[in-house]
Chains A and B, each alone.
Chain A
Amino acid sequence: MNMILLDYYDLAIAAALVGVLALSSVMLGLGMGRQLVIAALRTAVQLSIVGLILKVLFENLHLGWMTLVAGVMLLAAGREVMQRQQHRFRGAWGYGMGTTSMFLSSFTLTLFALLVIIGNQPWYQPQYAIPLLGMMLGNTMSGIALGLDRLTSSAMAHRTSIEARLMLGHSWSQAISTIRRESMRVGMIPMINAMAAAGLVSLPGMMTGQILAGSPPLEAVKYQILIMFLITAGTGFGTMTAVWLGARRLFDERQRLRLDRLYKKN
């Protein structure tokens, strides 16, 4: 079975639907018309650029180019994590904490999957590496962003009870333990929900794509299971690392709670 190719006329019809929605939104006074159009335009432009980059990348197989693209993806994800924080860490930590955690979890696991599990030749073949890394980063990013946001906002809200524990001689780790545990849980819940609902409520995007492209359903399912497990591990370890680093950073070398290391997003 061959994939049915879309032409620009097909896309124009779909775009018209969004246009009608934007128009309705304006008429109903929802104030979303402008946002909708801008977001739709961004989708079209950003994805086209990515398509072009992938096209070039596929035609020029080289580890250096792959590393560059992967690096840009990581930095963009790190920025996104920071953008989603209500309270951010001052200085390089604000950006570095999420980025480091994603590097440690997403990069390592993607590499592991490419080398050990998939084992294609060469391992950095972009058809596998880029989508895999993209899915890993995208999900890990959400987990880390949720976890860190919960950590910092809880620390701000529960300053009195955290310091009460310090005053009784508890260590920084004991003093923040409840909040740290809760933040890690919050970061991991979406992934656990996604695994539980997979196939019943939603047909995961990658599997849908493979089936549309003509893969046998059971092969697509195997890939999807692999991806889900990798993403879960990546999100879990990434969130744990980021929340642990964040919790540590909330205290100084004398184990004082240092909320002055946070600033509020404007």
Chain B
Amino acid sequence: MLLRLDAVQVLSLEPLNLDVDAGECIALSGPSGSGKSRLLRAIADLDPHEGRVWLRGRVCETYPPCEWRSQVGLLPAESGWWADYVGEHFAELPDDAVLSRLGFGPDVMDWQLSRCSTGERQRLALLRLLVKRPQVLLLDEPTASLDPDNTATVETLIAEYLAREAAAAIWVSHDPQQRHRIASRHYNIVGSQLEAVA
């Protein structure tokens, strides 16, 4: 068991339990405001919350906060940038091959953020997270502002990453076809319940 949620409770949702294996991708859906993003923030330990989250048999509170969030990487719907140039946000430079698959040249690291579009930022934010090699990916609509080609590339990249690193993902998606493509299991938030979708 890679990731375990034990009675984790956010907003008005019922406490929820969930086990995620290495290599697994779980799709999560639900109406907006139902607590999907808040749930991901709680798992990344960014908000105070009820319940416990375990990674590889160790409970969150026993990890130093920075190490936890390095291991359990959250990609929020709106990416944040703190410096002027793209390269300053990367702990280590991604492969040129990966960059070009996402439509960037190596010079992208010298770009100013103010000239990047929303879609470019979304792809760069994913790369920025992946070079840190987290064990769990918490993805909040990672392809929301991407065109179909880039969406397909991102889906493949993430699937490859999960297989290569034996990592797991929880992927919030509003697109039923995408959920079908990426995930082995699907949960939907109905009211205050998390329901498994067959």
The 8 A-B pairs of least Cβ separation, nearest first, read A164-B80, A169-B70, A160-B80, A255-B65, A161-B80, A161-B82, A167-B74, A254-B65
A residues in contact (CB < 8 Å) with B: 158, 160-171, 178, 252, 254-257
Tell whether, in the assembled complex, residue A255 and residue B78 are in contact, meaning their CB atoms are under 8 Å apart.
Answer: no
Bound CA span A217–B78, Å: 62
> Does B147 sit within 8 A of A, measured CB to CB?
no
B121: shortest Cβ distance to chain A, in Å? 11
Q: Which residues of B contact A158 (CB under 8 A)?
A: 82
> Does B58 sit within 8 A of A, measured CB to CB?
no
| Known A252-B48, A256-B45, A256-B47: A164·B79 in contact at CB below 8 Å | yes
Q: Of the candidates B61, B66, B81, B132, which one forms a contact with A164 in the assembled complex, judged by CB atoms under 8 Å apart?
A: B81
Q: Which residues of B contact A166 (CB under 8 A)?
A: 46, 69
| Known A254-B45, A255-B65, A256-B46: A168·B128 in contact at CB below 8 Å | yes
Q: Which residues of A contact B74 (CB under 8 A)?
A: 167
Q: Which residue of B lies closest to A256 (CB)?
A: B46
Tell whether, in the assembled complex, residue B82 and residue A169 are in contact, meaning their CB atoms are under 8 Å apart.
Answer: no
Bound CA span A163–B44, Å: 11
Contact with A along B43-62 (1 / 0, CB 8 A): 01111100000000000010
Q: Which residues of A contact B48 (CB under 8 A)?
A: 252, 254, 256
> Does B129 sit within 8 A of A, measured CB to CB?
yes
Tell whether, in the assembled complex, residue A169 and residue B78 are in contact, meaning their CB atoms are under 8 Å apart.
Answer: no
Given A167-B46, A252-B48, output 15 extra A-B contacts at Cβ < 8 Å.
A160-B76, A160-B78, A160-B80, A161-B80, A163-B80, A164-B76, A164-B82, A168-B69, A168-B70, A168-B129, A169-B67, A169-B73, A171-B66, A178-B82, A254-B61
Q: Which residues of A contact B45 (CB under 8 A)?
A: 254, 256
Bound CA span A163–B65, Å: 13
Report the count of interface residues on B (CB-CB < 8 A).
25
Listed by A's residue number, 16 A-B pairs whose Cβ atoms lie within 8 Å are A160-B78, A160-B80, A161-B80, A162-B82, A163-B80, A164-B79, A167-B74, A168-B91, A168-B129, A168-B132, A169-B66, A169-B132, A171-B65, A254-B65, A256-B65, A257-B46
Bound CA span A86–B81, Å: 25
Q: Which residues of B contact A167 (CB under 8 A)?
A: 44, 46, 69, 73-76, 129
Q: Of the candidates A161, A169, A252, A256, which one forms a contact with B81 in the assembled complex, judged by CB atoms under 8 Å apart?
A: A161
A182: shortest Cβ distance to chain B, in Å? 12
Contact with A along B71-92 (1 / 0, CB 8 A): 0011110111110000000010
Q: Which residues of B contact A164 (CB under 8 A)?
A: 76, 79-82, 125
Contact with A along B126-139 (1 / 0, CB 8 A): 00110010000000
B164: shortest Cβ distance to chain A, in Å? 20
Q: Which residue of A lies closest to B46 (CB)?
A: A256
Q: Which residue of A lies closest to B134 (CB)?
A: A169
| Known A166-B46, A167-B73, A167-B76: A255·B82 in contact at CB below 8 Å | no
Chain B residues 174-196 with CB under 8 Å of chain A are: none
Bound CA span A166–B82, Å: 12
Q: Which residue of A lies closest to B65 (CB)?
A: A255
Q: Which residues of B contact A162 (CB under 8 A)?
A: 80, 82
Bound CA span A178–B84, Å: 12
Bound CA span A160–B80, Å: 5
A169: shortest Cβ distance to chain B, in Å? 3
Bound CA span A167–B128, Å: 11
Residue with the greatest number of chain A CB neighbours at <10 A, chosen from B46, B82, B128, B129: B82
Bound CA span A165–B65, Å: 12
Q: Of the candidates B66, B75, B128, which one forms a contact with A255 in the assembled complex, judged by CB atoms under 8 Å apart?
A: B66
Tell whether, in the assembled complex, residue B69 and residue A169 are in contact, meaning their CB atoms are under 8 Å apart.
Answer: yes
Bound CA span A171–B67, Å: 9
B142: shortest Cβ distance to chain A, in Å? 13
Residue with the greatest number of chain A CB neighbours at <10 A, chosen from B46, B67, B79: B46
Q: Which residue of B lies closest to A254 (CB)?
A: B65
Tell whether, in the assembled complex, residue B65 and residue A170 are in contact, meaning their CB atoms are under 8 Å apart.
Answer: no
A44: shortest Cβ distance to chain B, in Å? 50
